[in-house]
Structure 1
Amino acid sequence: MADPGFIGRTAYLRELSARLALAAGSGGDFVLLRGRRQVGKSRLITEFLARSGARSVYFQAARRPAREELASFTEALGRSNLTGADLVRNGLQFTTWESAFEWIARTASPDDPVVVVLDELPYLTGTNPSFESVLQLVWDHTLEGRPVLLVVVGSDLATMEAVSSYDRPLYGRVRMERVVLPLNLAEVADVLGLGAPDAVDAYLTVGGFPRVLLSWARGMSRREFVREGLSDPTSALVVIGERMLAAEFPDPETARAALEAVGHGERSFSALSDRSGLSGTSLHRALALLRRKRVIEGEDPLSTARGGRATRYRVADPYLRFWLRFVGPALADVERGRADLAVTRAEDGWSSYRGRAVEPLVRQSLERLAPVPGLGRARDFGGYWTRANDVEVDLVGVADRRRVQHIDAVGSVKWRDGQPFTTADAANLRRAASVVPGVDDTTNLVAVSRSGFVDGLGDVVRLGPGDLLNAWSG
């Protein structure tokens, strides 16, 4: 039965149902799901199992020693609704993973298929490096050909991406891989019942994490939500970010210092070094780890120029970006009952924060909308800046970022309350664009504004909040 508190995920549920039918009909199916922590992977699987009504066992790994993990899996079998689970509850034991899976396979039939969920595979392989090979043998000799749907889940994106790669034991076995993404802008707007401008603001505050979104009452303004969340140390706004970081970085020192510097708003390597206090070598390693875990992203200026990299870094997820900027630094105030100080800092810094935080969303939206009428062949979007930071262009559009031969579009983003994009903004855009390598007389101009546009902008392509929302609809 569907849970009324469950939001979105229709496409994922449909795909999982199709894989279960395939496993029942042709015998055996293997699904790999990965996604950021707290994005709702486990909740998705739980909802799927409830709606399908299938016999299943759900096992959550927990970085225990290998023998304890097997014992815990056995306990999960005893708690399950599998045929014969009472035998496990009454003392049936398994000395190996292979014997446990052989028993599971015998309980399945085409009319009564079984779903086996292994949640957090990286925890299992972390304490038992041979577990992938064990799973390969289990699949090859026991599960393949049987009416069993095996679903393997993990939060470490880099580790999970590598599981099915060519040189790994499970290569060629996985039948479907999916990344469980946060809810997108259109889904956030739908859940909260917000119009496009306010939906963008909500997205820049909580991203698409379902548990945080469910704590935002329909009709509540962004300011009210932030005030209420910061007034309660146990609120989803506060707690989810803490849990994400604690799980991702159990030994946080260097990586956490680098991440907090990026979250504070520093973007260049030198500024990050100054802010974090880390040496060049330590910072390089920390940034590499954060990028490998997909927690931060690094961008280089997009133009036809070669070399001279001036990489800038930013937190990849909008919610974690907001949390690191306004929530994490205020935890001491929140916990001692001075949420008013945290709220004031968040409101005072919101306008400047939002102006920069919206740029990645605009670029992603333009890529989804491409080709955009009036922007030529632009399919990939980034930004441009100089190493000295004396020139910065919010939007640069090219046909292919891997081989930039011409700049098809340049643009400016002005995400201001009650102030439209002006002729002065357009003049500043033209002036900055003139120094971007690859711009010529055929390069198109685009303006993106929260609050509309004045007359007299000429042939500048104009996009607003509704256009961003449309990019994610359907």
Structure 2
Amino acid sequence: MAGFVGRRAELRVLRRHLDWVREGKGDQRGRALLLRGRRRVGKSRLVDVFCAEAGVPFVVHQATRGEAPDRERARFLAEVGRLPFPETALLAGVRGVADWDTALRQLAAVLPDDETTVVVLDELPWMLEADPVLEGTLQTVWDRVLSRKPVLLVLIGSDLAMMERLSDYGRPFHQRGVEMVLPPLSPQEVMTMTGLPAAEALDACLITGGLPLICQEWQAGESRTDFLARALEDPTSPLLVSGERMLAAEFPAALQARHVLSVIGTGERTFGNIAARAGSAAQPLAPGSLNPVLRTLRDKRLVAVDVPLSARPGERDRRYRVADPYLRFWLAFLERGIAEVERGRGRLVAEAIERGWASWRGRAVEPLIREALARLLPDGRWPQVREVGGWWPRTNRPEIDLVGADRAPARDIAFVGSIKWHEQEPFDARSHAALARDAAAVPGVTEETALIAVSRTRCTARDLAAVYRPEDLIRAWPPAE
């Protein structure tokens, strides 16, 4: 199963749902599963492998964005007609139906009462875009007919917000499906897949975002520079084209949202700077125009919002960043380099990445390190820590990379820390002194607040409460299976 490192656990989850149907464990014979995850994370591949190994009849319908509903239904029924059941004769000569109610009931008529089957609707949000009535229709047909069959109905979607809303209270499919989220490959899985040591594997996470299609292109033990040089020789490489395809799917027409995302991806973090860059030279984008765009980007989980963590509420000093590490890398370096790669000059793009790598990585690695510490804590040393963040004032000076607290806003700050993610430079006495000086500015920090360090290489400073290295951080994720 090439390129499928780390997905054995997810396959087992799918098999458990299938066994639940096969063994008739519920008051309904069928089960609906809502599977969501970021684009290019491998949802379709996971389900394809599951279906191939399940040992039961299955049908997979892959939706097409923008497809007319009648054509979508015709393709769906053609796929249902290939199921190996005698009842498919009912569909002979049926080229189309007027609505999804009829199409789904035709599916139910074909499925047997005594044999388990799997039915997959891939990219359900695109089907709902074309025909919003489908959401209510799906609920009605599921309740009345489909749930009485021994069927595992898998509903897949990359629009995370829409997939989450499907099961909200008041929506037709509320409490009718089991939810499953497919995350990107974890840093531990990336380390296994690339054959890199911990520090280099964490750097690889910043480039690939844990997307399996890109990770499987990384040759075992290959250095970052060698991988980039090789990938940028090919204008069709997954590293180069995945970002374009992800954004084309997210923004078929929303040009302003796409532009604002690019502005954030090139490093602008504050509302004012984003508005200035997203507008014209003479006229920044007005708050009334920018706020709904940022809200859309947050709803799509493309942009994350960070607020400073301290004893004082920090909503006014929020900072924006591209949520997906791979997309952050693509927007910063690859988007504007596509034309060069297509001309056979990928070397120039690789050189530009190398020039900006240290500065970009120093900022990009911070969310990953905070997530790692949040997974590792609380522990015996920091039993009270439930939140890990950073702190900054309106002026951004000073900035504290790490704050560990009991909640947000904090009542008790357990530690503040600094990240030094350099190839050679250690966390030394000078770094320690700078951290001790700047920590005093954080609301809630006292003389008893501990100081910690995260270092990619060595730590030569003394009197730190804790030092975390790449090997410590990567243990925050369980080993790949």
Q: Which letter maps to 2:169?
A: Y
Which stretches in structure 2 are left out of the alignment for 5+ residues?
280-284
What whole-Å deviation, never above 9, does each CA across 1:204-262 have from its counterpart, x for those lacking one? 11111011111111121111111111221111100111100110011142111111111
How many angstroms apart in 2 are the aligned matches of 1:10 and 1:270? 45
Residue 155 of structure 2 aligns to a residue whose secondary structure is strand
Q: Partner of 2:412: helix, strand, or coil?
A: coil
What's 2:263 paired with?
A: 261
The residue aligned with 1:444 is 450
Give the structure 2 partner of residue 381 of structure 1: 388
User: Could you report, residue by residue, the CA deviation over 1:387-415 in whole angstroms, capped at 9, with x for unpaired residues?
Assistant: 011210000111122x4212111100000
Aligned equivalent of 1:230, options 225, 232, 255: 232
Residue matched to 1:272: 274
Could you give the per-residue CA deviations for residues 239-296 of structure 1, whole angstroms, max 9, x where no partner exists? 1111001100111421111111111011111121222223332222221111110001
Please, which moves more after superposition, 178-187 or 376-385? Answer: 376-385
Compared with structure 1, are the counterparts of its residues 280 and 95 closer, same or farther at alpha carbon in structure 2 (3 Å cutoff)? closer
Q: Residue 372 of structure 1: CA displacement? A: 4.1
Does residue 327 of structure 2 align to residue 324 of structure 1? Answer: no
1:193-204 counterparts in 2 under 5 A?
193-204=195-206
Does 2:337 match 1:337? no
> Distance between the aligned counterparts of 1:459 and 1:80, measured in 2?
65
The alignment's TM-score, normalised by the length of structure 2, stands at: 0.93
**1:5-154 pair list within 5 angstroms:** 5-26=3-24, 27-62=29-64, 63-82=66-85, 84-85=87-88, 88=91, 91=94, 94-109=97-112, 112-154=115-157
Contact 1:154 1:160 in 2 (8 A): yes
CA RMSD of aligned residues (A): 1.8
CA distance in 1, matches of 2:429, 2:380: 21
Instruction: Work out whether residues 379 and 400 of structure 1, in 8 Å CA contact, stay in contact via their aligned partners in 2.
Output: yes
| Alpha-carbon distance, 1:444 to partner | 1.5
What residue is the counterpart of 1:283 in the other structure? Answer: 290
* Structure 2 match to 1:423: 429
Amino acid of the structure 2 residue aligned with 1:165: D
- The aligned amino acid for 1:122 is P
Say which SS state the counterpart of residue 391 (structure 1) adopts: coil
Partner AA of 1:69 in structure 2: E
Shift of 1:308: 6.3
Q: What is the percentage of aligned positions where both structures have the same residue?
A: 44
Change (3 A) 1:308 1:158: closer
Partners of 1:68 and 1:243 lie apart in 2 by 24
Gaps of 5+ in 1: none
Partner SS for 2:400: strand
Letter in 2 for 1:147: P
What is the CA–CA distance in structure 2 between the aligned matches of 1:109 and 1:13, rounded to whole Å?
A: 25
User: What is the SS of the residue equivalent to 1:348?
Assistant: helix
Amino acid in the other structure paired with 2:6: G
CA drift of 1:81 comes to: 4.4
- Judge conservation of contact 1:382–1:395 (CA < 8 Å) in 2: yes
Distance of aligned partners of 1:82 and 1:321 in 2 relative to their CA distance in 1, 3 Å threshold: farther
Are 1:348 and 2:346 matched, yes or no?
A: no
Cα distance in 2 for residues equivalent to 1:372 and 1:357: 26
Distance 1:446 1:110 in 2: 61
Cα-to-partner distance string for 1:311-346 (whole Å, 9 max, x where unaligned): 111111111110000100111211222212211110
Shift of 1:64: 1.6
Partner of 1:390: 397
Residue 282 (structure 2) aligns with: none
| 2:477 is equivalent to residue 472 of structure 1 | yes
Show CA shifts across 1:349-376 (max 9, x none).
0111111111101100001101245445
- Give the direction of change, closer, same or farther, for the CA distance of 1:225–1:329 in structure 2 (3 Å limit): same
C-alpha displacement of 1:125: 1.2
The corresponding residue for 1:463 is 468
Letter in structure 2 aligned against 1:116 = V
Residue 414 of structure 2: aligned partner = 408
Shift of 1:42: 0.6
Query: How many residues align structurally?
Result: 469
Equivalent-residue separation in structure 2 for 1:199 and 1:452 (angstroms): 17
